Structure 1
Amino acid sequence: MSEPLRVLMVEDQEELREMIGQALNDFGFDVHTANDGPHALQLIDETGDFNIVFSDVNMPNNMSGLELSAHVAEALPNARMILSSGYARSQLPPLPPHVEFIAKPYRLRQLIELLKNPAPAA
């Protein structure tokens, strides 16, 4: 049996972070959570190899999901980076080519499918 995908979920809304994190654990993912970008970087430094980093675009504490994605690309070059936002993709700054996107509100099933299957390159 293969190892479960290690997911770092970065979400500043505590209830959403706990609910989605627990649901993903229930579906067999190895989920770690962070409440902002600096906390996510600390976890990456401490625990190392994540397969996927999933973050909201708009985050507190002076680090957006876009800024986090640049750090992830450097620290975890083989990890997938997925950003989510309640804003339409057209309302956001251009996303780097390596970043995947899922719009909020998303259904849990949509998120699980995206985590298991990388989106085709645009």
Structure 2
Amino acid sequence: MSLLPSSLSLVVLVVEDEPLLRMLATDILEDEGLTVLAAATAEEALSILESRGDITVLFTDINMPGKMDGLTLASHVAQRWPHIRLVVTSGRQGFTNDQLPDDGQFVQKPYRPRQLVCAIAHAA
């Protein structure tokens, strides 16, 4: 049984450098009936964001390789695409929701499927 309203049509961009975690998050969200796009880096995520206008939620890990971490990506998205809701995760750092840009949601790793889905639903 889905935790999301059936009328909710979301496109989620999952940004996670660990392939198994990216696949897990994608599977969890697709099982809820969501459309999911995936990226391994913030740079790849920006390329996807530039090419699509239908993304409604960004779910990003904070600690990633490359020039931009997930928190910087979330801040950039909040400024450039203010309609996109933010959900941020980390296994190394803890945040409260009020420490995140644009009323974002924080999910601590390791997270359970229900925690992720609830954060996405609350963000949307």
TM-score, length basis structure 2: 0.83
Instruction: Please tell me the residue identity of whatever aligns with 2:25.
Output: I
Structure 1 residue runs of 5 or longer lacking an equivalent are: none
Question: Are 1:44 and 2:49 matched, yes or no?
Answer: yes
CA distance in 1: counterparts of 2:105 and 2:94, whole angstroms: 11
Alignment of 1:23-102 (within 5 A): 23-89=28-94, 94-102=99-107
Distance 1:106 1:47, change over 3 A: same
Show the counterpart of 2:3: none
Q: Confirm whether residue 103 of structure 1 aligns to residue 108 of structure 2.
A: yes
Structure 2: gaps (5+ residues): 1-5
Relative contact order: is structure 1 or structure 2 higher (C-alpha 8 Å, sep ≥ 6)? Answer: 2
State the alpha-carbon separation in 2 of the partners of residues 62 and 108 from structure 1: 29
| 1:50–1:76 Cα contact (<8 Å) kept | no
Q: Report the CA distance shift for 1:43/1:97 in structure 2 as closer, same or farther (over 3 A).
A: closer
Higher alpha-carbon deviation: 36-45 or 62-71: 62-71
- CA drift at 1:80: 0.9
Cα distance per residue 1:65-116 (max 9 Å; x no partner):
11101221122201111110112426xxx53353321101110111111111
8 Å CA contact retained: 2:106, 2:119: no
**CA shift for structure 1 position 49:** 2.8
Give the TM-score of the pair, scaled to structure 1.
Answer: 0.85
CA distance in 1, matches of 2:86, 2:37: 15
Count of paired positions = 116
- Offset, 1:15: 1.3
The amino acid of 2:117's aligned partner reads I
